[in-house]
A and B are shown apart, each in its own frame.
Chain A
Amino acid sequence: MIASLLRVLALIRKELLAVLKDARTRNMLLLQPVLQCLLFGYAATLDLNNVPYAALDRDRSTASSALLAKLDGSGVFHRVANLTDAADMRRLIDSQQVLVVVQIDPNFQSQLSRGEAAAVQVIADGRNSNTAGAAVGYVGAAVDAFNADWRSDHGLPEPAIQLAPRAWYNANLETRWNLIPALIGTITLMSTMMLAALSVAREREEGTFDQLLVTPFTPVEIMAGKAIPAMLIGVVQATNALLVAQFWFRIPFAGNYVTLYIGLILFLLAAVGIGLFVSSIAATMQQAMLYAFVAIMPFALLSGLTTPISSMPPLVQDFTLINPLRYAIDLAHRVYLEGAGLGQLVPDLWPMAIIATVTLGAAAWMFRNRLE
């Protein structure tokens, strides 16, 4: 037993040396989580703060100027042109000089004064319909503000029922708060799966796998010696990402570190299990890496990281049940932002445990069958 443990320790040491002795690889593994967190943290926001727009004000009244002033003062829009001719609209949008054109009809003010609904036409560049939809939403908010002013200036009553919205766990609805904790799992998945997939393939390609087989190692010991170093590197990467989240982006940590790391270790077991399984199929390093990458893509896309799982078709939703990243992201969100305890996280923990058991078991079986 102790002899076996010592052998595994020796293998872990050798494996860590093999990966970390190259300074470029070492820097890559340690800096990558930090770089990616910074990149995603700053780039990935669906909030708009700089929308160039053109105004086509056909009314030229106090009401229409007040509405455009609301847009200009929103901090989101800046006016790049005042149009007089609708034909100019096409040119500005086609050449991407403006994202939206706001058009106000000639009888805007008189319609409002008569108590009628007055249309504000918003034409948006739908080439990126996501951004365009958001921009139209911001125009809507500015128009709401204008309406509230108009009502109070003209002594009109407020609507009978109003909505009082409030958001728990992320009061300002910041995209970053959602994204950065989710990245802890995503980044570590990419590296640990690749490392685990490469570890055996490298030995096979260099011919040292056969040498490993004539040593007293059992297949289980070899597997433990390959899995644990990848997991250790994953824990360090996750910690780096966590540090960026807390000390650079200052996202408050609501939960318990022990809970987070317990979930993380289960997740890493599952990731390494998949990596080792890929490694057992692949004949060369290149194959191992490409197969691992082909597996990582659907895991990352169908994890809820970029698009909500509840909007996916039922069949695809069923597939996400075997995706360890789905549980890791949910777990990271709930521990980090909600402060959930282990008891509430059981629905995330047991599927990861099952995925780890199945993939590690399958990898061990494949190794044994290839060995004999």
Chain B
Amino acid sequence: MTAEAPPRRPAPAAAKARRIWALIRKEGRQVVRDPSSFAIGVVLPVMLILLFGFGLSLDVKNVPIAVVIEAPSSQASEIAASFQLSPYFETHVTASMADAQALVLSNRVDGIVLLQSDFARRAAGGDASVQLVVNGIDGNTARIIEAYAEAAIAQSGVRVAAEGQADPAGAGGQAVVESQLWFNSANDSRYFLVPGLIVLIITLIGAFMTSMVVAREWERGTFEALFVTPVRTDEILVSKIVPYFLLGMGGLVLCIVSARFLFDVPLRGSLLALMGVSMLYLLVSVATGLLISSTLKSQFLASQVTLVATFMPALMLSGFIYDLRSVPLAIQLVSYLVPARYYVSLLQTMFLAGDVWGVIWPNAAILALVAVVMLALTRHATRKTLG
């Protein structure tokens, strides 16, 4: 295109800037006027922020369980009481295992605590057991129920020992775990949800929305129409990147403000560094969206591929929820290709630990590299179609 350019072109730099500005304005107006852009750019982030902040919790409480007391005794009521008083359980007391099983089958309770008829006699002999049956479908919840039950029984066991046979020699002499959670001493699950939330929102605005908008231009033929105008490929790309980049920055600011003031998640690193690495990730996302849409040129395909290639990995393979050290090697290797992985690591560190440059530099450098590669690929994919 440049080779055949007319020799007497007035002030090329100014003309270039004017062309880009006109395209950005057109794109910006399209974003502002389409109600679906508002839905994905504003409604969805706000909804996700509220859901992650107030709706979702991995903590287990008010778990419905059945307590079966086959033969009433003071020891059995002691154990039953420790479950009834616990905030983690909602107990239904029954007299037979059959009743409790019926409750499990009708999905009314998630577990059964069984105190057999010989419980009191065996407890006096120091050899009693409490049977616990949990519905194992939700393995995570089941494991937490087991841990709580263990604690409830240990507590009542201490009381029984103190009141009953009084054997001080047998009570002590054990190692006890004292745990400290650095960076999140209150064990607030929002502390780990918020960084993940930011990754998801930036991925959605950056990649999902951009890919659909550009794929639509391809489908309608307006992208090819742009090629016959004096506008260059680079200028088109800049004009497509800028509006969605700004929209993404808006989403980011919304997230940081709500993290800080709505959820009281501390920001221990510097805000400037956080914005810097977020811009890098946003650039990666927008470039990925452009690349996918320029390659596929179909809205439905672009949206599905963007979801599978960017959103799902950001959720599953970024280390946001699941620990990447424990997944199989093949999945670990794949996760190194997921840009969200580096961004999650940066966010978790910058929000909760502070400016640990040993973590920030390498991760930010990788994100910058990915951004350059993605932009180059996008440029290539868009240019090729000119020929």
* Interface residues, chain A, with chain B CB atoms under 8 Å away: 22, 24-25, 28, 32, 35-36, 39-40, 42-52, 67, 93-96, 99, 108, 112-134, 136-137, 139-140, 143, 146-147, 150-151, 154, 156-175, 177-178, 190-191, 194, 198, 282, 284-287, 289-291, 293-294, 297-298, 301-302, 306-308, 310-313, 316, 330, 333-334, 337-338, 340, 344, 347
Assess whether B182 is in contact with A337, with CB atoms less than 8 Å apart. Answer: no
Chain A residues within an 8 Å CB radius of B175: 67, 108, 112, 117-120, 143, 146-147, 150
List, sorted by A's number, 6 A–B pairs whose CB atoms are closer than 8 Å. Answer: A122-B180, A128-B192, A143-B175, A160-B126, A169-B137, A290-B39
Known: A42-B331, A45-B327. A156 touches B358 (CB 8 A): no
| Chain A residue with Cβ nearest B35 | A287
Chain B residues within an 8 Å CB radius of A22: 298, 301
Assess whether A308 is in contact with B191, with CB atoms less than 8 Å apart. Answer: no
Known: A42-B328, A167-B134. A115 touches B173 (CB 8 A): yes
The residue among A32, A118, A126 with the most chain B CB atoms within 10 A of its own CB is: A126
Assess whether A312 is in contact with B55, with CB atoms less than 8 Å apart. Answer: yes
Assess whether A136 is in contact with B179, with CB atoms less than 8 Å apart. Answer: yes
Q: Smallest CB–CB gap between A294 and chain B, Å?
A: 5
Assess whether A126 is in contact with B182, with CB atoms less than 8 Å apart. Answer: yes
Tell me which residues from 109 to 146 in chain B have a Cβ below 8 Å from any Cβ of chain A.
123, 126-143, 146
Chain A residues within an 8 Å CB radius of B149: 163, 165
Query: Is B107 located at the chain interface by the 8 A CB criterion?
Result: yes
Q: Smallest CB–CB gap between A366 and chain B, Å?
A: 16
Complex Cα distance, B331 from A35, in Å, reads: 12
Known: A129-B181, A298-B47. A308 touches B60 (CB 8 A): yes
Partner of B317, one of A43, A147, A158, A169: A43
Assess whether B40 is in contact with A129, with CB atoms less than 8 Å apart. Answer: no
Partner of A121, one of B61, B180, B300: B180
Known: A157-B167, A160-B157. A117 touches B174 (CB 8 A): yes
Tell me which residues from 149 to 191 in chain B have a Cβ below 8 Å from any Cβ of chain A.
149-150, 153-154, 156-157, 160-161, 164-165, 167-185, 187-189, 191
Assess whether B179 is in contact with A287, with CB atoms less than 8 Å apart. Answer: no
Main SS of the interface on chain B? helix
Assess whether A43 is in contact with B322, with CB atoms less than 8 Å apart. Answer: yes
Partner of A167, one of B51, B64, B133: B133
| Chain B residue with Cβ nearest A290 | B36
Chain A residues within an 8 Å CB radius of B320: 128
Assess whether B304 is in contact with A46, with CB atoms less than 8 Å apart. Answer: no
| Chain B residue with Cβ nearest A122 | B179
Chain B residues within an 8 Å CB radius of A96: 345, 349, 359
Assess whether A40 is in contact with B107, with CB atoms less than 8 Å apart. Answer: no
Chain A residues within an 8 Å CB radius of B323: 48, 128, 131, 134
Assess whether B185 is in contact with A126, with CB atoms less than 8 Å apart. Answer: yes
Complex Cα distance, B173 from A322, in Å, reads: 54
Assess whether A25 is in contact with B173, with CB atoms less than 8 Å apart. Answer: no
The residue among A115, A311, A316 with the most chain B CB atoms within 10 A of its own CB is: A311
Assess whether B129 is in contact with A162, with CB atoms less than 8 Å apart. Answer: yes
Assess whether B170 is in contact with A157, with CB atoms less than 8 Å apart. Answer: yes
Partner of A44, one of B123, B303, B322: B322
Complex Cα distance, B348 from A50, in Å, reads: 20
Complex Cα distance, B141 from A140, in Å, reads: 18
Extra inter-chain contacts (14) besides given A126-B192, A291-B36, CB under 8 Å: A117-B174, A128-B320, A156-B173, A160-B123, A160-B165, A161-B156, A163-B132, A167-B142, A198-B300, A289-B212, A290-B37, A311-B58, A330-B107, A344-B107
Assess whether A169 is in contact with B55, with CB atoms less than 8 Å apart. Answer: no
Shortest beta-carbon contacts, A-B, top 9: A167-B136, A170-B136, A126-B184, A173-B139, A126-B181, A287-B36, A127-B348, A290-B36, A115-B172
Q: Smallest CB–CB gap between A333 and chain B, Å?
A: 5
Complex Cα distance, B140 from A157, in Å, reads: 32
Complex Cα distance, B356 from A94, in Å, reads: 7
Assess whether B208 is in contact with A293, with CB atoms less than 8 Å apart. Answer: yes
Complex Cα distance, B323 from A330, in Å, reads: 26
Q: Smallest CB–CB gap between B172 and chain A, Å?
A: 4
Complex Cα distance, B236 from A78, in Å, reads: 52
| Chain B residue with Cβ nearest A52 | B325
Q: Smallest CB–CB gap between A340 and chain B, Å?
A: 8
Assess whether A126 is in contact with B191, with CB atoms less than 8 Å apart. Answer: yes
Chain A residues within an 8 Å CB radius of B262: none
Q: Smallest CB–CB gap between B28 and chain A, Å?
A: 16
Known: A160-B128, A163-B132. A36 touches B216 (CB 8 A): no
| Chain B residue with Cβ nearest A345 | B107
Assess whether A35 is in contact with B57, with CB atoms less than 8 Å apart. Answer: no
| Chain A residue with Cβ nearest B208 | A293
Q: Smallest CB–CB gap between A345 and chain B, Å?
A: 10
Q: Smallest CB–CB gap between A71 and chain B, Å?
A: 12
Complex Cα distance, B216 from A307, in Å, reads: 36
Assess whether A161 is in contact with B140, with CB atoms less than 8 Å apart. Answer: no
Assess whether B138 is in contact with A157, with CB atoms less than 8 Å apart. Answer: no
Chain B residues within an 8 Å CB radius of A302: 51, 55
